[in-house]
């Protein structure tokens, strides 16, 4: 199975004519609440891709938001290992989306910041541990070390973008980044140079509507994007990561898993929302066969 350790947030989304400037108040339209957070989105995408069961370590507050996030993951058949952050609120994100599709996001990490190095349970029969950077870096590094020691492959989605210590990168088997994250990590806008300098042997770079490129040892794989009518690219990257690791855990070769992940993330772009936009395995298989 796949083990995911990471964040969960409840997203509060308001649409407005424009994103407010400092000190300004804008009147928005309605309010949408969506389960989100990179860790939870990726766990759900992994579970929907099927082929392997999905476990997740997540920290939630003892509040109604936590209950909402918990049920959305349970409904997707994610096996949860919950750290209860007593007296701390569940993670939230306040998102304003303008009519020009610009956004401004404030995240209050809350319980996600309480995920500590000692919280990772034994990984059991897991083949892969999937990590992101929305929880404390110290814990991400401790989990990567524990997985390495247990013979579990470590996959890091280095998002949100930041520089990372060699002590973490040296314990990563597969790095998944978008172009901005690669540039930040490798200190160059040149993708070929970034792949060289990332400090990880196997690297996948997602390229939005251009698909993705991967380097594994000496081999390079290019996977063009699937042509779809994109309406909302929220969680495209998360869908890609979850689907990719699900297929690798099920035994697919990297190029086969990349093709599946590109198809799954393309379908996620055709629907609004984060977790609600993640396609099922049957939908992805239909696109692959088309």
Total residues at interface with ligand ADP (CB under 6 A):
19
Query: Which has the closest alpha carbon to 259: 205, 212, 220, 189?
Result: 212
Give me the residue label for tokens 């799954």. 264
Q: Is 149 a catalytic residue?
A: no
How many residues would you count in the chain? 290
Tell me which of 207, 250, 256, 287 binds ligand ADP, using CB under 6 A. 207
Q: Do residues 67 and 99 touch, judged by C-beta distance below 8 A? A: no
Structure tokens at 37: 């957070």
The CA-CA-CA angle for residues 151, 165, 180, to 5°, reads 100
Residues annotated within a binding site for ATP: 178, 206-211, 237-238
Stretch that binds ligand ADP, among 55-63, 129-137, 147-155, 228-236 (CB under 6 A): 228-236
The footprint of ligand ADP on residues 139-198 (CB under 6 A) is: 178
Stretch that binds ligand ADP, among 32-40, 105-113, 129-137, 232-240 (CB under 6 A): 232-240
**Shortest separation between residue 38's beta carbon and ligand ADP, angstroms:** 9
Tell me which of 3, 65, 143, 226 binds ligand ADP, using CB under 6 A. 226
Long-range pairs for 195-199 at CB < 8 Å and ≥24 separation? 198/169, 199/166, 199/169, 199/170
Strand locations in 153-247, DSSP E?
A: 153-157, 174-178, 202-206, 212-216, 219-223
Please identify, using beta-carbon distances, which residue of 74 and 162 lies nearer to ligand ADP: 162
Q: Do residues 35 and 72 touch, judged by C-beta distance below 8 A? A: yes
Q: Which of the following is catalytic: 75, 189, 218, 238? A: 238
Tell me which of 79, 98, 233, 276 binds ligand ADP, using CB under 6 A. 233
Q: Do residues 131 and 140 touch, judged by C-beta distance below 8 A? A: yes
**Shortest separation between residue 241's beta carbon and ligand ADP, angstroms:** 8
Please identify, using beta-carbon distances, which residue of 10 and 262 lies nearer to ligand ADP: 262
Tell me which of 115, 266, 274, 284 binds ligand ADP, using CB under 6 A. 266
Please identify, using beta-carbon distances, which residue of 36 and 66 lies nearer to ligand ADP: 36
The footprint of ligand ADP on residues 68-127 (CB under 6 A) is: none
236 is a contact residue toward ligand ADP (CB under 6 A): yes
Contacts of 260 (CB under 8 A, 6+ apart): 49, 243, 244, 247, 252, 284, 288
Q: Which residues bind ligand ADP (CB under 6 A)?
A: 178, 206-209, 211-212, 225-226, 228, 230, 233, 236-237, 240, 262, 265-266, 269
> Active-site positions?
238
């Amino acid at each position: 199975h796949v083990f995911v350790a990471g964040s969960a947030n409840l997203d509060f989304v308001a649409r407005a004519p424009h994103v407010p400037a400092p000190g300004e108040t804008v009147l928005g339209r309605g309010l949408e609440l969506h389960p989100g957070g990179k860790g939870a989105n990726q766990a759900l995408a992994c579970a929907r891709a099927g082929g392997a069961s999905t476990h997740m370590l997540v920290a939630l507050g003892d509040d109604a938001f936590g209950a909402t996030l918990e049920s959305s993951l349970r409904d997707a058949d994610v096996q949860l290992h919950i750290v209860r952050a007593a007296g701390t609120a569940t993670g939230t994100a306040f998102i304003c989306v303008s009519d020009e599709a610009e956004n401004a996001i404030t995240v209050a990490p809350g319980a996600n910041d309480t995920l500590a190095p000692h919280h990772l349970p034994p990984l059991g029969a897991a083949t892969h541990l999937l990590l992101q950077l929305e929880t404390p870096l110290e814990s991400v590094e401790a989990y990567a070390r524990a997985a390495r020691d247990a013979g579990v492959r470590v996959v890091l989605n280095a998002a949100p973008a930041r520089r990372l210590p060699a002590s973490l990168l040296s314990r990563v088997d597969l790095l998944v980044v978008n172009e901005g994250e690669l540039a930040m990590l490798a200190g160059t806008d040149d993708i070929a140079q970034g792949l060289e300098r990332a400090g990880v042997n196997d690297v996948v770079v997602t390229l939005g509507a251009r698909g993705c490129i991967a380097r594994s040892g000496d081999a390079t794989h290019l996977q063009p994007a699937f042509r779809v009518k994109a309406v909302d690219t929220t969680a495209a990257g998360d869908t890609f990561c979850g689907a990719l690791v699900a297929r690798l855990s099920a035994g697919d070769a990297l190029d086969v898993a990349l093709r599946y992940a590109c198809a799954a993330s393309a379908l996620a772009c055709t629907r609004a929302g984060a977790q609600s936009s993640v396609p099922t395995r049957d939908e992805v298989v239909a696109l692959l066969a088309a």
